[in-house]
């Protein structure tokens, strides 16, 4: 070879990045490097490289590796072809030094007994008949383990010489190591998870359990390019050995992991005292099913959150980590907060924030968002909608609302969350709707904060990269909602609520099947949460509008309804403490805190509707009871005389009922509208429907008879039960439960009901 074509020897700077270096020193122009030898499993640094001032390299493995093989490996790592001439090497020293160093050379001539496939399988609890199917064979050097690439081409052979000892592995000369098991990748196309473990034994163990796994020969041989075939998997789970080598492997993987994979890679934590996957397998009596279950149940930590890997996620040592807030705000070019309207209402959804919308399944979340999208599209906003509904459903929606055709919809039902985030970032929308979290951002365990945070991370980061985009995440609530709507109503871990900026709760209004109550629960931008809003869908479903705040629109607010339930509990129990009322409500499916029960009972006592005995702090607290047969309704009673100090023995004649334009009492019109809405109910059904509105059977009887006399109805429901109760009351010491005074109009009671009303 002529000098012009002679390959240049590698430089020390080209070799160092590929070694596990322990120390680099320089003296009198000569550099010295102490590192782990790449030619054998080197636990203690046994490789010495000296660079003379003229660039000449002196290399030596004090564990006894062959000089020529060592030089070729260093050239390969540096990416150059070794020259045919022998480099200048230090004079070999006695092999006794290797024992003092704690390492042994790559074996060639060993006097130990040759390892067999059967012995290897027996020691590791593996099936000796299956190992040859995966290419393992016996040879003069022990057990030969072939390495094939993804196309099935042979690229390397690793020899296992012994079960124990430092010198139990070696590579065939001239081989280039790769991950073990690459030829199985086509068989795992349907798998979402692949496991990365150390060495062939752990990989074979996972294969026995039916788990896709690739073996890494060691941290020193890992290459950044090896991430490429792993990109097809949604989850990459590393199972490192519980030793220094495992720590170094995780550190190397974290240092080389591409940005696009960082959210997919996790580190599985083996049980305390277990060194590697095969040891766990042996502890479970080599039971493949039990081992598989144990692996699937083991907790895993995202690679970027792993303590070993944290230092490698810094963006650089030259970045400023802390700064005065004044400087940060001066350098921040962000615009003021801008809210996007929700059914014409501002202040709920803001750009650059994440809003969580929670409700029961089929409670109307999607219906609300469909009408909100119509509004946003008419304003010229770009909306991305990740929907779990099939295309035929969307075809019907576009037929009813043509403007929805401008939505940007997911073309496929499932993809990795990181891919959704990348696609959305490329689109730069004004709004993103994820309907639902369980479909598009699934957590392995919704009750585990770490799992939830990991699942939401791609969209949490997306909100930082898109400061002009509002993100709405749709999620489910628990089965039983609190009366006032609380943050604990959201299903799953608190991480769902901790990671977002605002929380909206959608719940049905019991009195109106086309109305929904939208309650703002919490928000980082709200000093005080806005009042709950009443939303109403038109009869034909073509419009969704905000009727107003709940305190003004609903005839009974939630607090009012809760107070009525507590009063009813006192009536049913006769006499009860706060704890007894609380238990009674809970048994009937009402979830109210003891503090709420006490506050409402105190208000009922102050209003004269209940009495109490005892002391708050003694004997179990106050005992509450009703001291009257008839309890007045909680509404404002325009003509109520219950507060008078002296009550007449006979009630005063009821005032003339309020009338409307038809000349009939307002109560009659209310009964008439209810009757029309129900079709042809019997008397009991009608009574049950009107009872929540303070209309009792006797008031209903009078209203029905007046409606029939006025020709408004042809027939009225039979009411034998009402007449029976009226006649049965004659001569009794107390009248049956009824109420003759209502804010919507009083009704003259039957003549025989002349007992005291209270």
Same domain, 580 and 661: no
pLDDT of 602 reads 84
Residue 736: pLDDT over 80: no
- The token pair at 396 is 């019907």
Same domain, 546 and 578: no
Integer Cα distance of 687 and 708 in angstroms: 17
Residue 739: pLDDT over 70: no
Q: How far is CA 692 from CA 107, 567, 584, 585, 658, in A?
A: 90, 13, 20, 17, 20
CATH number of residue 230's parent domain: 3.40.1360.10
pLDDT digits 0-9 by tens, 107-128: 444 445 789 999 999 999 999 9
Same domain, 494 and 620: no
pLDDT of 323 reads 79
Same domain, 403 and 548: yes
How do strand 47-51 and strand 169-171 relate by DSSP bridges? unpaired
Same domain, 518 and 578: no
Q: How far is CA 609 from CA 645, 691, 754, in A?
A: 15, 19, 22
Domain membership flag for residue 193:
yes
Domain membership flag for residue 6:
no
pLDDT of 313 reads 46
Same domain, 532 and 594: no
pLDDT digits 0-9 by tens, 260-276: 888 899 999 888 888 99
pLDDT of 319 reads 55
Residue 206: pLDDT over 90: yes
Same domain, 130 and 269: yes
What is the pLDDT confidence band of residue 586, given thresholds at 50, 70 and 90? confident
pLDDT of 335 reads 60
Residue range 530-544: mean pLDDT, rounded: 89
Supply the pTM of this predicted model.
Answer: 0.41
Among 489, 519, 552, the domain boundary falls at: 552
Domain ranges, residue 755: 647-758
pLDDT of 7 reads 56
What is the pLDDT confidence band of residue 588, given thresholds at 50, 70 and 90? confident
Domain membership flag for residue 576:
yes
pLDDT digits 0-9 by tens, 544-585: 999 888 877 775 545 456 777 888 888 888 888 988 998 888
Residue 96: pLDDT over 70: no
pLDDT of 531 reads 83
* Nearest alpha carbon to residue 205 among 303, 298, 300, 295: 295
pLDDT of 394 reads 94
Residue 617: pLDDT over 50: yes
Residue range 308-327: mean pLDDT, rounded: 59
Residue 54: pLDDT over 70: yes
pLDDT of 627 reads 56
Which has the higher per-residue pLDDT, 64 or 391?
A: 391
Domain membership flag for residue 3:
no
pLDDT of 331 reads 62
Would you call the peptide bond into 436 cis, given omega within 30 degrees of 0 as the criterion?
Answer: yes
Domain membership flag for residue 631:
no
What's the distance, Cα to Cα, between the start and end of the chain in Å?
120
Domain membership flag for residue 407:
yes
pLDDT of 722 reads 41
Same domain, 532 and 605: no
Among 298, 313, 328, the domain boundary falls at: 313
Integer Cα distance of 165 and 672 in angstroms: 94
Residue range 627-638: mean pLDDT, rounded: 43
Same domain, 403 and 510: yes
What is the pLDDT confidence band of residue 235, given thresholds at 50, 70 and 90? very high
Q: What mean pLDDT is reported for the chain? A: 78
CATH number of residue 569's parent domain: 1.10.10.10
Domain membership flag for residue 331:
no
CATH number of residue 507's parent domain: 3.40.50.300
Same domain, 186 and 82: no
pLDDT more than 70, % of the chain: 77
Q: Identify the burial level of 42 via C-beta atoms within 10 angstroms of its C-beta, where 0-12 means exposed, 13-18 middle and 19 or more buried.
A: buried
* Nearest alpha carbon to residue 478 among 628, 606, 639, 589: 589
Among 525, 552, 579, the domain boundary falls at: 552
pLDDT of 102 reads 45
Q: Which residue has the tokens 């068989």?
A: 187
Same domain, 277 and 372: no
What is the pLDDT confidence band of residue 277, given thresholds at 50, 70 and 90? very high
Same domain, 253 and 349: no
Ranges 229-238, 299-308, 734-743: which has the least confidence: 734-743
Element spanning 673, H or E? helix 666-678
Residue 321: pLDDT over 60: yes
Q: Which of 197-206, 548-557, 717-726, 745-754 has the highest mean pLDDT?
A: 197-206
Ranges 137-146, 188-197, 456-465, 481-490: which has the least confidence: 481-490
Q: How far is CA 316 from CA 243, 323, 517, 754, in A?
A: 28, 16, 49, 90
Domain membership flag for residue 296:
yes
Q: How many structural domains does the chain have? A: 5
Residue 82: pLDDT over 80: no
Element spanning 533, H or E? strand 533-537
Residue 25: pLDDT over 70: yes
How do strand 408-409 and strand 383-387 relate by DSSP bridges? parallel
pLDDT of 75 reads 86
3-state secondary structure labels for all residues of 261-308: HCCCEEEECCCCCCCCHHHHHHHCCCCHHHHHHHHHHCCEEEHHHCCC
Residue 731: pLDDT over 90: no
Q: Which residue has the tokens 């080599």?
A: 286
pLDDT of 307 reads 55
């Amino acid at each position: 070879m002529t000098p012009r074509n002679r390959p240049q020897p590698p430089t020390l700077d080209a070799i160092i990045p590929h070694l596990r270096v322990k120390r680099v020193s320089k003296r009198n122009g000569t550099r010295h490097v102490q590192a782990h030898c790449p030619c054998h499993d080197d636990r203690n640094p046994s490789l010495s490289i000296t660079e003379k001032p003229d660039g000449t390299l002196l290399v030596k493995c004090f564990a006894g590796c062959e000089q020529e093989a060592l030089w070729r490996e260093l050239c390969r790592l540096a990416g150059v072809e070794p020259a045919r001439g022998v480099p200048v090497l230090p004079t070999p020293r006695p092999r006794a030094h290797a024992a003092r160093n704690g390492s042994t050379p790559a074996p060639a001539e060993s006097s130990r007994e040759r390892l067999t496939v059967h012995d290897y399988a027996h020691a590791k609890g593996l099936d000796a008949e299956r190992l040859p199917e995966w290419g393992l064979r016996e040879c003069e050097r022990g057990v030969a383990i072939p390495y094939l690439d993804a196309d099935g081409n042979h690229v390397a052979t690793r020899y296992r010489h012994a079960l124990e000892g430092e010198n139990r592995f070696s590579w065939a000369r001239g081989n280039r190591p790769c991950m073990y098991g690459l030829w199985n990748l086509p068989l795992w196309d349907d798998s979402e998870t692949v496991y990365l473990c150390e060495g062939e034994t752990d990989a074979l163990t996972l294969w026995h359990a039916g788990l896709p796994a690739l073996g890494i020969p060691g941290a020193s041989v890992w290459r950044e390019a090896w991430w490429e075939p792993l990109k097809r998997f949604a989850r990459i789970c590393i199972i490192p050995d519980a030793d220094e080598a495992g720590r170094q492997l995780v550190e190397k993987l974290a240092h080389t992991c591409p940005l696009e994979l960082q959210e997919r890679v996790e580190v599985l934590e083996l049980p305390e005292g277990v060194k590697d996957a095969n040891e766990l397998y042996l502890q479970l009596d080599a039971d493949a099913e039990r081992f598989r279950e144990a692996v699937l149940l083991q907790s895993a930590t995202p690679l970027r959150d792993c303590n070993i890997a944290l230092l490698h996620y810094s963006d650089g040592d030259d970045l400023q980590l802390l700064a005065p807030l004044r400087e940060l705000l001066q350098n921040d070019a962000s615009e003021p907060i801008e809210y996007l309207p929700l059914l014409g209402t501002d202040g709920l959804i803001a750009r650059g924030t994440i809003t969580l919308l929670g409700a029961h399944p089929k409670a109307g979340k999607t219906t609300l968002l469909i009408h909100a999208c119509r509004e946003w599209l008419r304003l010229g906003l770009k909306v991305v909608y990740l929907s779990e509904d099939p295309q035929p459903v969307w075809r019907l929606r576009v037929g009813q609302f043509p403007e929805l055709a401008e939505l940007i919809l997911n073309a496929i039902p499932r993809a990795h969350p990181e891919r959704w985030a990348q696609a959305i970032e490329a689109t730069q929308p004004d709004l993103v709707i994820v309907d639902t979290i369980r479909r598009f951002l699934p957590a392995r365990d919704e009750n585990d904060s770490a799992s939830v945070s990991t699942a939401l991370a791609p969209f949490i980061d997306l909100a930082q990269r898109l400061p002009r985009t509002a993100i709405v995440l749709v999620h489910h609530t628990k089965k039983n909602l609190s009366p006032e709507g609380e943050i604990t109503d959201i299903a799953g871990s608190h991480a769902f609520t901790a990671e977002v900026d605002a929380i909206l709760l959608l719940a049905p209004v019991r009195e109106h099947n086309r109305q929904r109550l939208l309650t703002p629960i919490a928000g980082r931008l709200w000093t005080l949460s806005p009042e709950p809003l009443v939303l109403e869908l038109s009869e034909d479903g073509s419009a969704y509008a905000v009727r107003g705040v709940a305190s003004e629109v609903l005839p009974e607010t939630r607090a009012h309804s809760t107070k009525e339930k507590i009063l009813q509990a006192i009536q049913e129990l006769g006499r009860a403490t706060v704890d007894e009322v609380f238990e009674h409500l809970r048994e009937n499916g009402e979830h109210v805190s003891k503090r709420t029960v006490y506050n409402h009972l105190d208000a009922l006592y102050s209003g004269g509707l209940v009495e109490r005995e005892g002391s708050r702090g003694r004997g179990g607290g106050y005992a509450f009871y009703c001291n009257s047969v008839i309890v007045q309704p909680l509404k404002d009673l325009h003509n109520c005389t219950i507060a008078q100090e002296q009550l007449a023995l006979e009630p005063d004649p009821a005032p003339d009922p309020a009338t409307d334009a038809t000349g009939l009492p307002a109560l009659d019109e209310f009964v008439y509208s209810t009757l029309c809405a129900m079709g042809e109910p019997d008397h009991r059904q009608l009574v049950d429907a009107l009872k929540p509105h303070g209309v009792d059977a006797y008031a209903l009887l009078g209203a029905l008879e007046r409606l029939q006399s006025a020709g408004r109805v042809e027939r009225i429901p039979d009411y034998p039960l009402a007449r029976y109760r009226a006649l049965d009351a004659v001569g009794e010491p107390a009248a049956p439960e009824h109420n003759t005074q209502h804010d919507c109009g009083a009704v003259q009671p039957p003549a025989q009901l002349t007992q005291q009303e209270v």
